[in-house]
Structure 1
Amino acid sequence: MGSGARPPEPTVVEFGQPPIEFTNDASHIVGDLMVFVMGAESSQGSSNDRGLLGVGRIAQVDRTNDLQGASARVAVRLEDVLLAHPVVTTAVMRDSPFFTASGLGEQKIFGWTGASSAQNCVPLHDRSASTDGARMAPVYVTLALMREASPGFWSDFEREYPELSQTVNALPVPLVDSSQLDLGYVPPEYRSEPIDSTLVAEYLAARGMTLHPWQVAAYLAAVRAKPFVILAGISGTGKTRVPMLVAEATGAEVEVASVRPDWTDSSELLGYTNLAGDFIPGPLMRFAASAMQAPEQQHFFVLDEMNIARTEYYLADVLSCMERRDPYGNSAPLLPSAGAADAIDYSEVVIPSNLAIIGSVNIDESTFDFSKKVLDRAFVLEFGGVDLLALQAQSATAGNQRVWYGAASWRGEPVGLANRTDQDGPAGTEALLALVELNDILRVARLDIGYRVRDEFVGFVLEAAHVGVGFADRAGNAISPLDVAVASKLLPRIQGSGHGMRSALEDLSTKLSDLGCHYSAARVGAMTERLKSDGYTSFF
């Protein structure tokens, strides 16, 4: 944000519920883009000095007569809200050089009802609007802000609306004083706050849980970077107990579902419609609905022994929805075909930003391996190297050490990776450069990664800075977040045989040692020895 004062925090509009309504006698075409500038002044004219602007695509148009019958009221339901920035106040818009030059002055450009509503929401195919300066002025300002906020959006927009783009690009004066704007505005309910892994680790220790501090810090950073974490290791190492105790320590809700070997599709988790036509919600669907009703509280859904059935079968729909998240971390609806039950419309239930899915994994002959589809979407934290002499006494006063961490402490920053590598200092850039070198080595064995893994890898390193100083073992020896990111995002994908695999593992071990990633280098060394002795190797 610039040097000016920040505008008051506006009320965020939820698009589509209810439909955005305005008065306009122009035709509207489903699929057309619409620019909206609205919400800063009520119909009575009393200003609350708040506004919201953006661009959306018309999804539905309903026409009915209003109560007076004087004009047609058009209810436009917007979908694909390409950009929405609730950052501009009435005063900022009025002071815009463009408005002043256009002679608009104190004209109400934010009116919500009546005749002034037509200039708030303008369908861009309506070329008659281009002759109406009072109506198009807020459109020009909005589009100029969208251009500044997202070059990618503007490139697409120029192809679809070349004439209007030329008009906006040719405007001779600055449209808005950028010091009065915060294009990175995040609504309060989606802001991110730090969490202290040391306090959480102390609570777990008081409850008799023997872990390295870095394991607790890694769990917290992983959830913040991507709310899908797999805890792997031999049986009896506390993999299921960890998320339960962390939830207990921080005031979160937790539910454990035991996976069964006969799970073959998503109905066991999401629900199904019975022969009577009634929808029976599954445990994840019910828990997600509960999380949506308590957005300030973190929720953990634990899949116990998740690989006792094929994960890519029963979790496929959930994984797909998690990849279609809005900028604030809410997924697409889990089951759009679901019905209503217990006064809840389950067709609208999503995985909200305050819900993380945690899986516990045993590695033995009774379980299934993971596909890359699953591994690429998760952080895998290994609970290995058990120290049988490490005895942790339980404390009768452990409950006194609880500390409340709301949902904001479990969310990463809802901004793009490019912005974060600029804002969070050199850690992100250094992690990205290291990843490029490692990926060049993995490419030899055809194990190179895509953009999803890149974003989550770097995101983990950045989130590590927001979980305290817990990246160390019990002896106090530091382990870098980069080291943990390699072990949790890159190494689990490695499996195979042959000379190419051996060459890649040897080069990878050398490079990891050069980067100071000694934990991962040792893990790769063990995998190399297994390849030499067995002719095949894998992470698990």
Structure 2
Amino acid sequence: MLKKISSDSWIDNIEVNNKNFLGRKTVDYSMLNYGTIIPIRYYNKFLENLSSKLERGNRVKIDIVLNGDKYPGSIDMPDVKKRKTAPIRINYTDKLLKEILQKEFQSSYEYILDYEKKNDKKPNTIPDEYKEYIDFYKGDELDTFIMNLLPINSQEPFEKDNKDIYCDDEEIENEDIEVNNEFWNVTNIKEEIKYIHNYISRKGFNYSKELVENLYLSIKTKPFVILSGISGTGKSKIVQLFSEAIGANYDNGRFKLIPVKPDWSDATDLLGYRNIEGKFTPGIITLAAYEAMKNPENPYFICLDEMNLARVEYYFSDILSLMETKRLDGNGNIVTEKLISKEQFGRDTASFDKYGDVYIPQNLYIIGTVNMDETTFPFSKKVLDRANTIEFNKVDLNYNFEQVFNEEIEGRIYHNDFLKANYLKIAECKDEKEIAIKVIDKLISINNILEIYNQHFGFRVRDEIVFYMIYAIKNNIMDFDKALDYCIVQKILSKINGSNSDVLEILVKIFNLLNNSTFNCENYLDDVSIREMTKKSKESNYKLSSEKLMYMIRRFVKDGFTSFWQ
């Protein structure tokens, strides 16, 4: 029989005839959901199998092998101030692994669910009749750990003999283990973006390198981007090709093009609904998030094509709100609140078990394309406040036939770290505070103008512009003025519109601020001033912003109304 000599859930004095055996863990709530704490007496066994030294506040990525399949995980040492000896944890974030464990350890899992339902808390211990176990082994490579499951129905034959208990040595020794090294090694972000641009160009599509740089920075700043412009400029195509270039495509299911339907009036198509039989049917984004959670190292893309054929606020507001709940979990991953409440599943417990804990993971990126014409709906400030809006209105009709016949280049497989945000809060930018302070000073000057007319922006816009600027400058993708130019267009000017004379004053004052000029307007601008401003905009350090301001100013003077959108 098993001999328990410690007060935790690990079983000591187990004889297993395998030199790679590390220890036996009793299955509990934490192991069925995210991992477990490693007892101090087991520290050396686990740490000597890591490729780098583990220190307080840090973690080492590992591969967890189960039945020959690998799942991403980590071993970390949380910086718990109250503890003299820092705890060490083995963690996993893969949803598929979680599902396998819950299915295999049905005895423990059902006991935990039943106990929690009756007592409104999780059990501290599990009775002997429900106990199940996991054996941990070192893999053949560092940072690799093998799990061997011992569900209750596999234990009876081994309890008669304690030697080699619960272990098939031959199976463990012959297990085929390979370290996942398929991801492209990124050493220079700017060079990688250049490669992505080359990949897209070799496909016969003529997008500027600056556009690809801006798209990358916008996605990294926030995983929700809007591409706007006239029809036929390749908005959805660049999303597809950008995704392909970094390893996400139709074939592997990591790129999905979703045509928005005009009759979408709520979130059911995206999140899910209960059918007439009470069975929950998951929506498009729920399914994509579910798959992305199972493969957290790979980026996933959803392109919502012609996003404003329906009112975005009607069908997308729930998702926009969830995006603002982003936070870091205990493993340093970016998570949100759950997509679907328990009540929405009704009595469909099977669907709740599968989709009930789905959130918007850090490797899911949503990009919407929009056309602004008489068939579409305008955007509210709530939507624009939460996105970077990239315009596709400049069209170069020239075509390089020679370039098309050049040999195509293969896409690369990038780890999600290539796109994942490095910052969630501005306090996390302390190491780059010089850039942040310089950006904030510029934003204060702009906001002082907007505040006079009650058009000012808040902390969200400030923070996201700061993040964009840090990514651009640190990686030598853009200089300060050029990066700020994009941010002003995409995060500030896109929300200015109207027929009030205040709007014209705002536009002229921002133009003056950006160009160190002194143009004046009292409800009107004469042709001479407009020509001078137009000439100055072409020479400006903030050319994109100045040209957009001039478009909006000319439209106001001509029509008595103006808008960012063309």
Q: Describe how 1:123-272 pairs up with structure 2 within 5 A.
A: 195=189, 196-252=192-248, 253-272=254-273
Q: Describe how 1:284-299 pairs up with structure 2 within 5 A.
A: 284-299=285-300
Q: Does 1:455 align with 2:451?
A: no
Larger radius of gyration: 2
How far 1:503 sits from its partner (Å)?
1.1
- Using CA pairs below 8 Å that are at least 6 residues apart, which structure has the higher relative contact order? 1
* C-alpha separation in 2, matches of 1:522 and 1:45: 62
In structure 1, what residue type is equivalent to 2:545?
S
In structure 2, what residue type is equivalent to 1:505?
L
Q: Does 1:93 align with 2:93?
A: no
Cα pair 1:417 1:455 within 8 Å, conserved: yes
Q: Partner of 1:302: helix, strand, or coil?
A: strand
Deviations 1:298-317 (A, max 9, x none): 01111000000000100011
In structure 2, what residue type is equivalent to 1:321?
L
Deviations 1:53-101 (A, max 9, x none): 9xxxxxxxxxxxxxxxxxxxxxxxxxxxxxx9714799x936xxxxxxx
* C-alpha separation in 2, matches of 1:110 and 1:226: 33
Q: Partner of 2:369: helix, strand, or coil?
A: strand
In structure 2, what residue type is equivalent to 1:513?
N
Q: TM-score, normalised by structure 1?
A: 0.64
* C-alpha separation in 2, matches of 1:458 and 1:496: 28
Distance 1:466 1:409, change over 3 A: farther
* C-alpha separation in 1, matches of 2:391 and 2:554: 19
Distance 1:235 1:391, change over 3 A: farther
Cα pair 1:262 1:309 within 8 Å, conserved: yes
Identical amino acids, percent of aligned pairs: 32
Cα pair 1:41 1:47 within 8 Å, conserved: no
Q: Describe how 1:113-124 pairs up with structure 2 within 5 A.
A: none
Match of 1:521 among 519, 542, 546: 546
Deviations 1:8-39 (A, max 9, x none): xxxxxxxxx93599xxxxxxxxxxxxxxxx94
Q: Partner of 1:230: helix, strand, or coil?
A: strand
Deviations 1:156-185 (A, max 9, x none): xxxxxxxxxxxxxxxxxxxxxxxxxxxxxx
Cα pair 1:200 1:246 within 8 Å, conserved: yes
Cα pair 2:78 2:87 within 8 Å, conserved: no
Across the aligned residues of Structure 1 and Structure 2, the Cα RMSD in angstroms comes to: 3.3
How far 1:203 sits from its partner (Å)?
1.0
Match of 1:332 among 311, 325, 337: 337
Cα pair 1:483 1:517 within 8 Å, conserved: yes
How far 1:439 sits from its partner (Å)?
0.9
Paired position in structure 1 for 2:510:
508
Count of residues in Structure 1 that have an aligned counterpart in Structure 2: 379
* C-alpha separation in 1, matches of 2:304 and 2:407: 26
Distance 1:343 1:505, change over 3 A: closer
Q: TM-score, normalised by structure 2?
A: 0.61
Q: Describe how 1:357-436 pairs up with structure 2 within 5 A.
A: 357-391=366-400, 395=404, 399-414=408-423, 416-420=425-429, 422-424=430-432, 426-436=434-444
Q: Partner of 1:537: helix, strand, or coil?
A: coil
In structure 2, what residue type is equivalent to 1:251?
G
Distance 1:437 1:19, change over 3 A: same
* C-alpha separation in 2, matches of 1:52 and 1:278: 46
Paired position in structure 2 for 1:481:
483
Q: Partner of 1:388: helix, strand, or coil?
A: coil
How far 1:413 sits from its partner (Å)?
1.0
Distance 1:448 1:52, change over 3 A: same
Deviations 1:471-506 (A, max 9, x none): 59xxxxx97111001111001101112221111110
* C-alpha separation in 2, matches of 1:517 and 1:334: 40
* C-alpha separation in 2, matches of 1:368 and 1:392: 38
List gaps (5 residues or longer) in structure 1. Answer: 1-16, 22-37, 54-83, 95-108, 113-188, 473-477
Deviations 1:100-157 (A, max 9, x none): xxxxxxxxx9699xxxxxxxxxxxxxxxxxxxxxxxxxxxxxxxxxxxxxxxxxxxxx
Match of 1:497 among 492, 496, 499: 499
